[in-house]
Structure 1
């Protein structure tokens, strides 16, 4: 088997697609690259880079596969319930209005979940929820507000009836909820972060990054939160020394900015 030139490919991807692959965990990433490369019919990474450059469909397939997009509304429902409780009983008492960032938002299920919570409890947003992702294709899908039944498995009967309309075996989100979210392309590694936030939700993303990149992300998120703000991470993303980022643990996978 031909030795694959990952150094060339990482440099090419950063130069041409502005994605820093060397931030990802190496073994996991290389397995994914090999799989998607062979699906495209390439024998080498040089050949694969040529295919990505010349074919929009192969480029899209590569970006969709590398930037993992597995999500659903109220993912890990018990954790989301804890977060909703803190948001509605604690955070809402501290601040007159709430500024929210859903980082690496994928198809939009997460920021729309947050918008539904804010609407259901009649809580004021400082501005629309900012929802960001590195993948333009995924962001385009998120903006449609159209979801499959399995993506709504954690949505209550009340919320489903209140916020969705079933059309041709899909579920279309109410325009009122869609209008509460602004989608934007953003790279967690390369670009600056918004500031003076009351809530950051970044779940099931940092597990794919190397430790030093993960630590830098949490450091910058800590700096982006106002004192008393909350960071909500994924169900396998425990922050073991939150104090080094100016945070303290207040519930499972939920951290408060303390300084």
Structure 2
């Protein structure tokens, strides 16, 4: 049972940020936040909330304290360089108005990295950048566009200066970048995928799924791509027997959707297996 002070705090935070603290384990989150407000000299959660409204640096510290998902911009920078210098130019030769999806996007570093790279090629209004995650709270965090310094360790200096504004120990990403990404809640296993994507990015996520679930997801990702669209996976993931999903290797961690559509039968089988289990 929530005490009144903390319950009211939760409601105010949700209204202010979109983050629903009631979705987290109460004892753990309450202890974490109580430690912070006592450290900053507040007596209760209502005083703490007023402090969050009046002190931007405290608000950023609050966001950092309650963050569970940890990500960063330009993670594994060499892969993003290959995307920028090799993959995107080839895609843009075929289609100037790319449709791109960052699946399981966490707190937004990945889709915002995509947007910053794409801005070098054309106005961001030229592209569709979709970003999805199963967690409402990380989507709310992403939409705020505020990040600790550790998330920017691999951001090139010119990009950092162009798109980020420092506020204390936190950085605000440009509103133009935020507006270029469409965020949406989505369950990879339970919900259908949109189609006709030129590029799908899903990195260091599939490692957490069972082999049967991976079979389903690789098929769904392949079906969601245009012919010769590209699937960008993480350094922790390998697609064995990729041809079975109509993928062929373009570069390390980049797979191209082949022209043939031969796996429809397999797709049905995998769905049936999943349902039976």
Is the TM value for this pair above 0.5?
yes
The 5 Å alignment of 1:206-245 reads 206-245=206-245
Aligned to 2:165: 165
Secondary structure at the counterpart of residue 219 of structure 2:
helix
> TM-score scaled to structure 2, two decimals?
0.68
Change (3 A) 1:82 1:167: same
1:103-147 deviations in whole A, cap 9, x for unaligned? 000000000000001112226666531100000011100000111
Listed as ranges, the matches of 1:195-210 within 5 Å are 195-210=195-210
Q: Does the Cα contact within 8 Å between 2:97 and 2:128 map onto a contact in 1?
A: no
Uncovered stretches (5+) of structure 2, i.e. residues with no partner? 1-21, 30-67, 260-277
Cα separation, 2, equivalents of 1:110 and 1:71: 8
1:238–1:57 CA distance, 2 compared to 1 (3 A): closer
- 1:23-172 pair list within 5 angstroms: 56-58=23-25, 69-122=69-122, 127-172=127-172
Once the two structures are TM-superposed, the CA of residue 83 in structure 1 deviates from its matched residue by 1.7
Q: What root-mean-square deviation, in Å, do the aligned CA atoms of Structure 1 and Structure 2 show?
A: 1.9
- Once residues 237 and 84 of structure 2 are traced to their aligned partners in structure 1, the CA distance between those partners, rounded to angstroms, is 19
**In 2, Cα distance between equivalents of 1:227 and 1:125:** 23
| Cα distance change, pair 95–137 in 1 and its aligned pair in 2 (3 A) | same
TM-score normalised by length of structure 1: 0.73
Cα 1:106–1:60 shift into 2, 3 Å: farther
**Structure 1's 61 and 187: CA in aligned 2 closer, same or farther, altered over 3 A?**
farther
Go from structure 1 to structure 2 and tell me whether the alpha carbon gap of 1:187 and 1:155 turns closer, same or farther (over 3 Å shift): same
- The number of residues matched between the two structures is 200
Whole-Å Cα distance in 1 between the matches of residues 238 and 23 of structure 2?
37
Equivalent in the alignment of 2:274: none
- 2:72 counterpart SS class: coil
1:179-214 CA distance string (max 9 Å, x none): 110110000010000101101000010000101101
- The structure that has the greater radius of gyration is 2
Q: Tell me, in whole angstroms, the C-alpha distance in 1 between the residues paired with 2:80 and 2:141.
A: 23
**Contact 1:71/1:151 (8 A) holds in 2:** yes
Could you say which residue in structure 2 is the equivalent of 1:65? Answer: none
What is the rounded CA distance, in whole Å, between the counterparts of 2:144 and 2:202 in structure 1?
Answer: 21
